[in-house]
Each structure stands twice: as C-alpha cells, then as structure tokens.
Structure 1
C-alpha cells in the first residue's frame, strides 16, 4: 500500500483527524523491515536523525506530526505520531533514548556503535565529515496510531 493510501484509509476510520497532514514517509535505518517490525511491536518508539544533514528548504520533524513508516519495498507499514522532538548533540544522546530506539541489546554502547557507523556513511554521502563532538541530532519519540494489519 502506498503511504498516501494508508493515510487516507486512517482518516476514513477516524484513527487520525480528517484535516491531518502527512509530514513524511520514510524507511528507518539500514534494515527497514526489521526496524518497521520493531515499531509495529511497540519496541521501537524513538529515532535519531542528523540535524546537520537536513537541507535548508527541508522541513524538520515536528511534535504532533504524522509520518508513514515504510518497509524495504517502500510499502506503508504504519502511521506514527511524534510525541516529542528535541535537538541535541550526538554525545548527549542518553541511555534512555538508546533503549527507546529498541535496537540490539538496547544499550547506549550498542546505540553508539551502530549509529556512529551509520552517521559516518550518511555524512560522507552528503560530502561532510561526521564529528561526534559537534554533530547535531534530532531525537524523536513517537507512537503508532494506525498499523496496516
């Protein structure tokens, strides 16, 4: 199902308000299917993105906004709503946020290992160098408001 179709279906069932707008549709990280399943199972309720890599004309995630989570085939898996969005430095991400991201053993050490590798590649793709001392992150906490199944 496309993100737009899922969003309209959710409106028709009153899972989200009729006047709601979709902020974005995206895949999580390097294993979109696994991470989407963690979201659907209520294990993954947070994510981190690199604030430094947003384009000037690209809207930033907002508290209260709705997003569609996609699988590896770009099919809609569910709709999430942001409960909280905050900017912070990479090194200020704490153990609670790492736990809420739901990946691996859910520890801060695991989070730092996989996210460091992820952000090094992401920054390189954009022609930048990832500097964990100065990198600016956006932390989002969310909940599922409409699953496909």
Structure 2
C-alpha cells in the first residue's frame, strides 16, 4: 500500500464569491489558447475546494497574513488539491490516518516530477487533501523534504507514514508493490531509485 499523490485534472480556481481569479500579468502571455473547456462538475469541484480554502486558511491562522499584506495572487488562490494512492478506497484509508493523527509522512518518486507539471514538494508548501470522492477534507503544511534511495528510507520515516504495522519492512513491501504497478513510463523499480520523503502537519480538518 502506498500514499503517492493522485492529482486531479487541472481545474480553474475560483474565488469564494464565484468570480474567477485574475491572471497575473507575468503569466497572461504564456497561457495556451487551446485549453479544454472545464465541465460543470469541474467548476463545482473547484468552487468547493476554494470555499474550503477560504475557511481553512482563516481557521488555521493563515488569514491574518492576508489581512496585513493584502490578498496577492498566491494568497487568493487555493493551494494544490490531491488525494493519496491510486483508488478511492486507498485515498479514504490514508486520509483517515491523517485525520486521526497517525500519518504525518508521505512518499513519492523523484521521477514523478520529471514532466514539470507538478513541482517537487518543498518545506512550507500547503496542500488540500481530498477524500476518495474528490471532496476537500484537510489542509496540511509540509515541514520537511528529503530525497534518499529506496533502500535508505529509515524506520522513523516508515513509522510516520502510519500504514500497516508501521515497520520499515512493511513500508518497503507495500511501497514496492505500489510503485511496481504505478511506475512512471520508461522507469523500472530498483532499490536505489530516488524517493521523496515528505513530512507534514495537519493545520485544519473539515468539520
């Protein structure tokens, strides 16, 4: 079992009042003209994520920064929203571990970021965790990021993942099985492949 991120399709972010957020001037010229038209379902999901973000950032104490500095582009937009694993069932299971405080770590492969569509995690990053139905359930903040070979992931990190019996042996077995079935194209599982070990803290959970 693994907790690699499963990102939904790119969705337009909406502000809480339903108005589309402005495009920054430095990005406007670089936007492609052939973006697919978002579906009504996509728009509704984006609105739910944005509403969650507006509520979560205030309750987590992040709104005070916006009140002092003013709502800049990055502050108005919701952070990335994603779910764990490769199935709704796994997403719900791992999210549950986060909500109960057992899971404070997640692992991914460096190779997953090769395409440039998703940036590598970094300390201080915010993320919205979705459940298996795509509903926003939690806001987390990345507290540490390390990149190590698969066979150098340690007991402490394996325990932070909160899965199975929380041992390193269980972590290796579950993640090898997961990555063998979800390996990026052109890559093969190996004991020295680079793994992103990310630690995070729970800032807010949906009521």
Whether TM exceeds 0.5 here: the answer is: yes
For this pair of structures, how many residues does the alignment match?
Answer: 147
Greater relative contact order (Cα 8 A, min sep 6): structure 1 or 2?
A: 1
Cα 1:22–1:59 shift into 2, 3 Å: farther
Task: Quote the offset at 1:131 in angstroms.
Answer: 2.7
The equivalences for 1:1-149 within 5 A come to: 2-13=48-59, 15-17=61-63, 18=66, 20=75, 22-30=78-86, 31-57=90-116, 58-123=118-183, 126-149=184-207
Distance in 2 separating the partners of 1:129 and 1:11: 38
Query: TM-score, normalization: structure 2?
Result: 0.66
Higher gyration radius (CA): 2
1:6-48 Cα shifts (integer Å, max 9, x gaps): 1111233353243646442111124011110100110000000
The separation in 2 between residues aligned to 1:3 and 1:110, in whole angstroms, is 34
1:82, 1:14 → 2: CA distance?
14
RMSD: 1.8
Q: Is the 8 A contact 1:79 1:147 kept in 2?
A: yes
Structure 2 Cα separation of the partners of residues 76 and 148 of structure 1: 8
Structure 1 unmatched runs, 5+: none
Which has the larger strand fraction? Answer: 1
Indicate conservation of the 8 Å contact 2:145/2:199, yes or no.
Answer: yes
Normalized against structure 1, the TM-score is what?
0.89
